[in-house]
């Protein structure tokens, strides 16, 4: 497995290619900030290796082997992110770039020991679930904050957009994973929300609310 191959598998997975859905070369090229012609080349190569199903002009999807490989890389990425935050005091907007490098380190023992050191975390700093060693994915019962009904309560469990600017915005406004949020009111005009979070009332734009995952209190 080369680094490049691993990055392609990861990108295809993130675009939904794990559910035997066909992903277009264009979509992959955009996700990876490369050119469609390069994607075609790699599609053939990965197809040769039995990691993707590729039909010309139809796009690619991951085979079972491809899914497992993608999950193992995502597992490493997210475990390293937890490590950086919990053990080295990185902030959640700093971890992605470094984890992009660390995810390619080849040593099964290393990642298992990191997992153990962190006490087998289930979620990464952005609230994304960490696949288990045998490639199982923990799905969560979560909704976007923007889709919660008025007066409902929930706990903030993840972000959809994990870009640096968004994460910094959340920090600045003291919005953190684990916070309890109650929807007080919705403004029809611009879809903004009035919420109570950890005691304080505040107003939140639709843009923000549609990028925050919340777990409904049952």
Partner DNA sequence: CATTTAATTTAGACAAAACGAAAAATAAAT
Partner DNA sequence: ATTTATTTTTCGTTTTGTCTAAATTAAATG
Site residues for DNA per CB under 7 A: 2-5, 7, 24-27, 34-45, 54, 56-59
Q: Is 164 in the site for a copy of itself (CB under 8 A)?
A: no
153 binds, among DNA, a copy of itself, none (CB under 5 to 8 A by kind): none
For tokens 């007066």, what's the residue?
151
Q: Which is nearer to DNA, 26 or 207 (CB)?
A: 26
* Span interacting with a copy of itself, options 14-22, 82-90, 135-143, 188-196, rule CB under 8 A: 82-90
Which residue in 12, 15, 67, 114 binds a copy of itself (CB under 8 A)? 114
- Taking CB under 8 A as the binding criterion, the range among 6-14, 53-61, 112-120, 160-168 that sits at the site for a copy of itself is 112-120
Contact with a copy of itself (CB under 8 A) among 1, 55, 65, 105? 105
List CB contacts of 136: < 8 A, sequence separation 6 or more: none
Determine, following the binding rule CB under 8 A, whether residue 90 of this chain makes contact with a copy of itself.
yes
Strand extents, DSSP E, 64-140: none
Binding mask 116-145 for a copy of itself (x = CB under 8 A): -x----------------------------
Q: Among DNA, a copy of itself, none, what does residue 122 contact (CB within 5–8 Å per kind)?
A: none
Quote the CA–CA distance of 167 and 97 in Å, as a whole number. Answer: 14
Residue 57 interacting partner from DNA, a copy of itself, none (CB closer than 5 to 8 Å by kind): DNA
Residue with tokens 């005691």: 199
Among residues 114, 105, 110, which one has the least CA distance to residue 86? 114
Cα(142)–Cα(147) distance, integer angstroms: 10
Q: Which two tokens stand for residue 147?
A: 């889709």
Rounded (10°) angle between helices 95-102 and 64-88: 130
* Binding partner at 24 among a copy of itself, DNA, none, C-beta below 5 to 8 Å by kind: DNA
Question: Is 67 in contact with 13 (CB distance < 8 Å)?
Answer: yes
CB 49: neighbour CB atoms within 10 A? 14
> What residues does 202 pair with on adjacent strands?
195
> Does residue 110 bind a copy of itself (CB under 8 A)?
yes
Tell me how many degrees the CA angle 90-92-97 measures, rounded to the nearest 5. 80
- Residue ranges binding a copy of itself (CB under 8 A): 84, 87-90, 94, 97-98, 101-102, 105-107, 109-110, 113-114, 117
């Amino acid at each position: 497995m080369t680094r490049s191959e691993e990055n392609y598998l990861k990108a295809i997975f993130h675009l939904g290619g794990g559910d035997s859905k066909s992903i277009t070369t264009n979509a992959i090229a955009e996700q990876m900030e490369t050119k469609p012609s390069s994607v075609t080349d790699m599609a053939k190569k990965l197809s040769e290796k039995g990691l993707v199903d590729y039909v010309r002009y139809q796009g690619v999807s991951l085979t079972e082997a491809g899914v497992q490989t993608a999950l193992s890389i995502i597992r490493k990425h997210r475990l390293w992110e937890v490590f950086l935050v919990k053990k080295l005091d990185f902030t959640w907007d700093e971890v992605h770039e470094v984890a992009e490098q660390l995810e390619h380190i080849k040593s099964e023992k290393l990642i298992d020991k990191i997992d153990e050191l962190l006490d087998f975390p289930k979620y990464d700093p952005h609230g994304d679930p960490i696949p288990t060693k045998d490639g199982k994915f923990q799905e969560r019962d979560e909704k976007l904050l923007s889709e919660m009904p008025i007066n409902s309560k929930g706990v903030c469990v993840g972000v959809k957009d994990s870009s640096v600017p968004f994460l910094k915005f959340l920090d600045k406004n003291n919005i953190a994973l684990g916070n309890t949020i109650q929807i007080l009111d919705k403004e029809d005009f611009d879809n903004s929300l009035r919420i109570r979070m950890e005691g304080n009332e505040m107003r939140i734009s639709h843009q923000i609310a549609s990028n925050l995952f919340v777990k409904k209190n049952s």
